Amino acid sequence: MTAPTHTIRIRVRYGETDQGGVVYHSHYLVYFETGRTEFLRERGARYRDVEGDGLILTVVEAELRFLRPARYDDLLRIETRVLEVGGARIAFGYEVYRDDSDELLCTGSTRLGSLSAETGRPCRLPPPLRALLGS
Amino acid sequence: MTAPTHTIRIRVRYGETDQGGVVYHSHYLVYFETGRTEFLRERGARYRDVEGDGLILTVVEAELRFLRPARYDDLLRIETRVLEVGGARIAFGYEVYRDDSDELLCTGSTRLGSLSAETGRPCRLPPPLRALLGS
Amino acid sequence: MTAPTHTIRIRVRYGETDQGGVVYHSHYLVYFETGRTEFLRERGARYRDVEGDGLILTVVEAELRFLRPARYDDLLRIETRVLEVGGARIAFGYEVYRDDSDELLCTGSTRLGSLSAETGRPCRLPPPLRALLGS
Amino acid sequence: MTAPTHTIRIRVRYGETDQGGVVYHSHYLVYFETGRTEFLRERGARYRDVEGDGLILTVVEAELRFLRPARYDDLLRIETRVLEVGGARIAFGYEVYRDDSDELLCTGSTRLGSLSAETGRPCRLPPPLRALLGS
């Protein structure tokens, strides 16, 4: 990964496991979201303020590869980076590791579209947001 | 139970189980909500329309007793009834059974407060809603 | 879609929405899972029995495209079909529609790997399961 | 609160909100669970090890009072304390605050039963666990 990444750690909750004894797969999309939220916060943008300013970033595509299972109480390390910034689009990439063993558990990406909260229609990313995303 | 009850059936989803091999306890609050939503629908009120009319019913108290575990793919039967209707309050009671064996798995109740969506302050239940709740 | 599909309907729960007023994206993976579970049930295989027989089908890849938002209380129609059956792999494809308007809301696919519950290692799909998947 | 409490902080995730713009009520049971898990960890017991040793602590009763709504991105402070320790029972109490404003949002308690993982029957809490719970 050449683009700068942001790292967070998340402890797996009991309710995130399933009867197979591992993290149920849909929760990785939540981990990804937490990753990009903290990525933005570190660069000075709180996503709650982005929405407060009338812009919604909505997930339009997601893809995930599950390599190894995460387990209850594992401390996960989520590495988030920007893959691409377009006029009204952002793509983020994610890698999820078991922090103590450094095993890669899951990789994925999400593509987000920028919408006006008022009209619900696509709108261009404001320059300050583009700037802090590094493009 | 003397008050009329409404019955729904819900199939336990895989992601609702935890590594203990049973339904994670927080999901019963979701089953309860589905129970009271369908209770209202059967009596002619869609909760989406209630909110559309500017009223929010928000849970202010909940209590649950877990008697036996529900398991993946179990067909649950949720029995919902009105316990009490006040000026700006409703209480619902719930019983959750494993449908095929008729075992009682969980009982509980939720007390809901009626709020104005505009002001966020308590407001009286409109008479038509009171009427269909049977009081 | 030329392969036979299986159709189920799911009512959106309140807790599946987010503050944007639409279904939070991770729940579509749960809808997909319900789709393939009922696909199997219709063909005579309960996934709980598959696991009881010592086989785990685990999601190894998923991809989703979100076209339009689903909303609270919408009745969703999920169309599930088999995309591909390999030695120890199955891929399912999904389309999620708002049932009354017939709008396509989300498409996606998941690739599942077949593991031995005992060893946790890949193992071939048993012939009866392959047969009911149509290959 | 006279008993010693343990404090953790949890950031509200986007997917934990609902279309009412507040945290959906079932997630407080997850926050409670995180509270008691970290309470145990601080005292030297990892719940994953408790289960590894063949003991399951299962929620048998829960009650919650919702005073004010939590919102997306709020930093919550969860205060957990032991209410009571019996032969095969523990009760925990919880208070959830919005950390910056110090507003009390939710209070509750859960009663847990101690089960043998092998037999599924109630079994006495082992003395070391009782000791670290302060009784």
The pLDDT value given to residue D120? 87
Token output for D116: 């043998």
Helix (H) or strand (E) holding D47: helix D47-52
Predicted confidence band at A134 (pLDDT cuts at 50, 70, 90)? confident
Q: What is the CA radius of gyration of chain C?
A: 16
| Cα(A32)–Cα(A28) distance, integer angstroms | 6
Question: Model confidence over A17-43: pLDDT tens digits?
Answer: 999 999 999 999 999 999 999 999 999
The three-state secondary structure class of D36 is helix
The fraction of chain D above a pLDDT of 90, given in percent, is 87
Token output for D66: 């919702």
Predicted confidence band at A93 (pLDDT cuts at 50, 70, 90)? very high
Residues of A in contact with C51 (CB under 8 A): 20
**Short-list D78, D70, D84, CA closest to D26:** D70
Residue D20 phi/psi, 5° resolution? -75, -5
Q: Which regions in chain C score pLDDT beneath 70?
A: 1-2, 135
CA distance B110 to chain D (A): 9
Residue A131 phi/psi, 5° resolution? -65, -45
Distances from the Cα of D75 to the Cαs of A16, A78, C19, D56, in angstroms? 20, 20, 17, 30
The pLDDT value given to residue B85? 95
The pLDDT value given to residue C135? 66
CA angle D74, D78, D80 (to 5 degrees): 175
Token output for D6: 């343990």
Helix (H) or strand (E) holding B132: helix B127-132
**Confidence check: pLDDT of A135 > 80:** no
The pLDDT value given to residue C25? 98
Q: How many CB atoms lie within 10 A of CB D94?
A: 25
Chain D contact probe: residue of B23, B24, B26 with most D CBs at under 10 A: B26
Q: Which amino acid is at D133?
A: L
Predicted ipTM of the assembly: 0.95
The verdict on whether A49 is a catalytic residue reads no
CB distance C104 to C97 below 8 Å: yes
What single DSSP character describes residue B17? B
The pLDDT value given to residue D27? 98
The pLDDT value given to residue D2? 58
Q: Output the furthest CA–CA distance in chain A (Å, rounded).
A: 47
| Cα(D82)–Cα(C46) distance, integer angstroms | 42
Distance of CA B9 to the CA centre of its chain: 13
Predicted confidence band at B4 (pLDDT cuts at 50, 70, 90)? confident
Predicted confidence band at A3 (pLDDT cuts at 50, 70, 90)? confident
Question: Model confidence over D119-130: pLDDT tens digits?
Answer: 989 999 999 899
**Short-list A10, A11, A92, CA closest to A59:** A92
CA distance C15 to chain D (A): 6
CB distance D12 to D78 below 8 Å: no
Tell me whether residues C15 and B37 touch, CB distance under 8 A: no
Tell me whether residues D61 and B58 touch, CB distance under 8 A: no
Facing A13 at nearest CB: one of D11, D14, D33? D33
What single DSSP character describes residue B122? B
| Cα(A27)–Cα(C55) distance, integer angstroms | 23
What DSSP line would sit under C52-116, residue for residue?
HTTEEEEEEEEEEEE-S---TT-EEEEEEEEEEE-SSEEEEEEEEEETTTTEEEEEEEEEEEEEE
The pLDDT value given to residue C134? 83
Residues of D in contact with A15 (CB under 8 A): 30, 33
Cα distance between the two ends of chain A:
16
Subunits next to B (3 or more Cβ pairs <8 Å) are: A, C, D
Chain C contact probe: residue of D19, D26, D28, D29 with most C CBs at under 10 A: D19
CB distance B101 to B91 below 8 Å: no
Question: Model confidence over A106-115: pLDDT tens digits?
Answer: 999 999 999 9
Residues of C in contact with B37 (CB under 8 A): 14, 73
Distances from the Cα of D105 to the Cαs of A119, B49, B58, D69, in angstroms? 33, 28, 14, 6
Residue B32 phi/psi, 5° resolution? -60, -45
**Confidence check: pLDDT of B1 > 70:** no
Distances from the Cα of A62 to the Cαs of A32, A66, A106, in angstroms? 10, 13, 13
Residues of A in contact with D13 (CB under 8 A): 30, 33-34
What single DSSP character describes residue C43? T
Tell me whether residues D62 and B20 touch, CB distance under 8 A: no
The pLDDT value given to residue C79? 98
Q: What is the CA radius of gyration of chain A?
A: 16
> SS3 helix, strand, coil % of chain B, rounded to 5?
25, 40, 35
| Cα(A57)–Cα(A111) distance, integer angstroms | 10
Question: Model confidence over D12-70: pLDDT tens digits?
Answer: 999 999 999 999 999 999 999 999 999 999 999 999 999 988 999 999 999 999 999 99
| Cα(D110)–Cα(B20) distance, integer angstroms | 18
The three-state secondary structure class of B13 is coil
Question: Model confidence over D68-82: pLDDT tens digits?
Answer: 999 999 999 999 999
Question: Model confidence over B18-72: pLDDT tens digits?
Answer: 999 999 999 999 999 999 999 999 999 999 999 988 999 999 999 999 999 999 9
The pLDDT value given to residue C1? 44
Token output for D114: 């101690």
Q: What is the mean pLDDT of residues B81-90?
A: 95
